[in-house]
Amino acid sequence: MRLLMVCLGNICRSPLAEGAVRAHLDRHGLDWVEVDSAGTGGWHAGEPPDRRSIAVAASFGVDIRAQRARKLVRADFTHFDWLLCADHSVLRDVRAAAPAEARERAVLLLDWAGQGTDAEIPDPYTGDAEDFRRVWTLVDAAAAGIVARIARAASGRIPG
């Protein structure tokens, strides 16, 4: 299973989502699940995550400093099983760029993770540390939901 976390800049939300999901997968020994992240925009390509994302992740024991931002590319639509989007605007852009075959595999991260319907992860870029902490809370809950979903699928009770 291959999961791509997608936001706008790939420096705030999706690096936190990648870090949280990796941490939960590690904890459960789910080493066959691949996780990566990307942004619909390329303005920050090559940069490490925003220092506020690095700080909030570190405060919860997760090191995301080695991540580097990149823009979503066409190959992502074939490589990844699911493109898990931070909000409706990102989802719209990802679906618009997707080949028809992949469109249904672009979904809202929180929905896919069982954390509510139409739920968004608000963009914290122009916000403060508290906004970043809120993003962490959301992606950490999503990571737990993803592990539960994968565990259920692996046990054959629901399709992945």
Catalytic residues: 7, 13, 123
Give the burial class of 114: count Cβ atoms within 10 A of its Cβ; 0-12 exposed, 13-18 middle, 19 or more buried.
Answer: middle
Of the candidate residues 34, 43, 88, 137, the single one contacting ligand 4NP (CB under 6 A): 43
List the one residue from 3, 4, 5, 7 that touches ligand 4NP (CB under 6 A).
7
Q: Is 123 near ligand 4NP (CB under 6 A)? A: yes
Contact 149, 113 (CB under 8 A): yes
Q: Which of residues 52-91 bind ligand 4NP (CB under 6 A)?
A: none
Burial of 15 (0-12, 13-18, 19+ CB in 10 A): buried
- The full length of the chain comes to 160
Six-digit token string for 5: 């976390």
Closest approach of ligand 4NP to the CB of residue 67, in Å? 11
At closest approach, how far in Å is the CB of 9 from ligand 4NP? 3
Residue 156 corresponds to which tokens in the numbers above?
């054959």
Binding of residue 13 to ligand 4NP (CB under 6 A): yes
In one-letter notation, the amino acid at residue 123 is D
- List residues binding ligand 4NP (CB under 6 A): 7-13, 39, 43-44, 123, 125
